[in-house]
């Protein structure tokens, strides 16, 4: 079974450290894992053209498609974001907007007689999601809520941990998440929960 981690940081920093803790633990337990760094990718924002409804594919040609294909095949997805001005980062938001919208339309026809939405099985149904956010001081829970809201509207099954899956970083952009012993233990427990839920769902 495969779990991918998507890191919304534009640098190799604290967010990537926390995501890797989860991926490394899952790998030790037999999962295939892959880290996707958005800093290496060109992902434009959704243009709101709605062409994905008919096309069953986003019409913007950039690095979105390779990531979306990996999301479609994964059993579990960890999405991590630094907190920038209280929010997830823009490139991650662009990816999630397009992935959520495309994932909605690729597997639904929605041809109801009265033109009302009647959602069925979606691309991300039965997939397990875990959110992780990192800030120097504050904003982690708002950004965590952004990720959680995205997952809950897209039919993911969300895993939590024994505390909010957030990390703290030092001042002036220090990359020092390795000193956050509580955060490290929360991520390890998150890996345990993802392992448990994905295994049960795919029994
Ligand atoms: C543009 C920008 C905005 C930031 N906004 C916040 C913020 O709102 N709250 C906060 O506590 N830290 C904020 N930070 C600090 C980052 O969240 C922190 O450095 C974090 O470690 C970044 O994640 P990374 O190490 O994975 O890149 C900000 C940093 C930058 C560069």
> CATH number of the domain that 25 lies in?
3.40.50.360
> Looking at ligand 1, which residue's alpha carbon is closest to its atom 28?
84
Could you list the residue range(s) of the whole structural domain that residue 82 is in? 2-111+118-201
Measured in Å, residue 162 CA sits from the centre of ligand 1 at 24
Q: Residue 30: what pLDDT?
A: 98
Q: Residue 119: what pLDDT?
A: 81
Rounded to whole angstroms, the Cα distance separating 180 from 34 reads 24
> Looking at ligand 1, which residue's alpha carbon is closest to its atom 17?
135
**CB of 88 shorter than 6 A to ligand 1:** no
pLDDT tens digit at each of 203 positions of the chain: 999 999 999 999 999 999 999 999 999 999 999 999 999 999 999 999 999 988 999 999 999 999 999 999 999 999 999 999 999 999 999 999 999 999 988 876 665 677 777 788 889 999 999 999 999 999 999 999 999 999 999 999 999 999 999 999 989 999 999 999 999 999 999 999 999 999 999 98
| Domain total of the chain | 1
Measured in Å, residue 14 CA sits from the centre of ligand 1 at 10
**CB of 13 shorter than 6 A to ligand 1:** yes
Question: Is the distance from CB of 190 to CB of 152 less than 8 angstroms?
Answer: no
């Amino acid at each position: 079974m495969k779990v991918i981690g998507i890191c919304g940081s534009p640098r190799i920093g604290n967010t990537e450290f926390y995501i890797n803790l989860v991926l490394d633990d899952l790998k030790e337990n037999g999962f295939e894992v892959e880290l996707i760094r958005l800093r290496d990718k060109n992902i434009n924002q959704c243009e709101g053209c709605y062409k994905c409804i008919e096309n069953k594919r986003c019409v913007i040609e950039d690095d979105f498609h390779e990531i979306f294909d990996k999301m479609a095949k994964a059993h579990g997805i960890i999405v991590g974001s630094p907190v920038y001005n209280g929010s997830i980062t823009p490139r991650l938001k662009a990816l999630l907007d397009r992935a959520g919208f495309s994932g909605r339309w690729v597997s639904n026809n929605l041809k109801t007689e009265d033109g009302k939405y009647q959602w069925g099985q979606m691309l991300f149904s039965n997939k397990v999601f875990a959110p992780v956010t990192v800030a120097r001081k504050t904003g982690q829970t708002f950004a965590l809520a952004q990720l959680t809201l995205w997952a809950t509207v897209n039919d993911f099954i969300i895993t939590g941990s024994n505390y909010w899956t957030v990390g703290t970083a030092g001042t002036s952009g220090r990359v020092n998440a390795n000193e956050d012993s509580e955060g490290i233990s929360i991520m390890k427990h998150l890996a345990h929960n993802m392992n448990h839920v994905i295994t049960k769902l795919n029994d």
